[in-house]
Structure 1
Amino acid sequence: MSGWGVALDRVLRERGGALFAYAYVLTGDPHTAEDLVQEALVRVFARGRAPETVDAAHAYVKRAIQTSSIDGHRRARARPQRDDRVADRVSPDPTDAADLHEALMDAVLSLPPRERTCVVMRYLDGLSAVAIAEQLGLAPGSVRRYLHDGIATLRRTHGDFGLDPRDAADGGAAHHVVITAKGGAR
């Protein structure tokens, strides 16, 4: 097996579940999440060059998932389709942990793609606004604006989940992997 084949096998064995879970949080649909992970794996490993470590491969695939998710929403906006499920959706009463989890998932899925990605990276990945900006190739101020707008939308439409955009300036992981590609930071 070639170097990229070994790296792909290791990433799938060691991090496949985490990558699927991450895609599921961004999409809310298991089938779409599977497609998103597959597309990301193809993007990362199609060139025949493998990232050198499992951590690096995981970071590249995760970044490809984020990009593919945003791109998918752009394509869907260009070709709008009717979604009958929206009319049938009822907000659950968040009285126990399962209902709260479901309510939070529905709320996050209602956000526009950039806001959703920033909120997920902040509160699921634990990254600061600066780290998110480096990963997405945005200005930190733009990330803070996306976080602020996303949380304001969540509060207005779904209630207060205790998220505070002010913590994004200095919160987050002390160590993060920044993916760089030809042409600059991503």
Structure 2
Amino acid sequence: MSLPPFQTLVDAHWRDVARLAHALAGPNLGDDVAQQAWTQALAAYPRLTSARNLRGWLLTITHRCAMDAHRAARRTVAHEDPASLTAAPTVDGPVAHDDGLWARVAALPDRQREAVVLKYVADLDHRGIATALDTTPAMSRRLVSDALATLRLDREELR
């Protein structure tokens, strides 16, 4: 089995890693999380036994780095406004016009928020979400479904 050069992997997936890191960790920690993910991926790359689904592998590493960053932030004294840690990521396109959407996503329970971000920001299927969250595809479907139902209810209450 031959893996492509690591730089080829970076060139192909750096945007995906950066978007997911910013969506999960917020604008203040997103760059650090992405850098940590790339560092861990580079260290583990020579030990890979399969070149299948390298994007999913990278996004799983990114998700785990974001969760590590959240855990570390809870253990340290915050020197900045805690609300800024959950600020919505910068998004281009039609979703960018719904400022309230990202605030409602940030208010979701952790696992639901992570599942929605993996589904709609990282564009993973339910198998990829399940791998990243260390659960089953059925549970990832349920997490996304419950999150969307909550977001719909919140939206109706705003009207």
TM-score (norm 2): 0.66
| In structure 2, distance between residues paired with 1:116 and 1:139 | 16
Residue 40 of structure 2: aligned partner: 43
Larger helix fraction of residues = 2
2:69 maps to which of 68, 72, 78? 72
Q: Deviations over 1:147-169 (max 9, x none)?
A: 3443354345x525xxxxxxxxx
- The answer to whether the 8 Å contact 2:106/2:113 transfers is yes
1:159 maps to which of 137, 143, 155? 155
Gaps of 5+ in 2: 87-93
| In structure 2, distance between residues paired with 1:146 and 1:68 | 21
| In structure 2, distance between residues paired with 1:32 and 1:50 | 28
The percent of aligned pairs where both chains have the same amino acid is 24
2:100 maps to which of 82, 85, 103? 103
The aligned length equals 145
Change (3 A) 1:149 1:77: farther
- Give the structure with higher Rg (CA): 1
Change (3 A) 1:21 1:132: closer
CA RMSD of aligned residues (A): 3.5
2:73 is matched by which residue type in structure 1?
A
Q: Deviations over 1:2-42 (max 9, x none)?
A: x98x622112222212321222222331x522211111112
TM-score (norm 1): 0.58
- The answer to whether the 8 Å contact 1:69/1:113 transfers is no
Residue 6 of structure 2: aligned partner: 8
Question: Structure with the greater relative contact order (CA < 8 A, sep ≥ 6): 1 or 2?
Answer: 2
- The answer to whether the 8 Å contact 1:23/1:34 transfers is yes
1:119 is matched by which residue type in structure 2?
V
| In structure 2, distance between residues paired with 1:41 and 1:59 | 13
1:59 maps to which of 56, 60, 66? 56
Residue 92 of structure 1: aligned partner: none
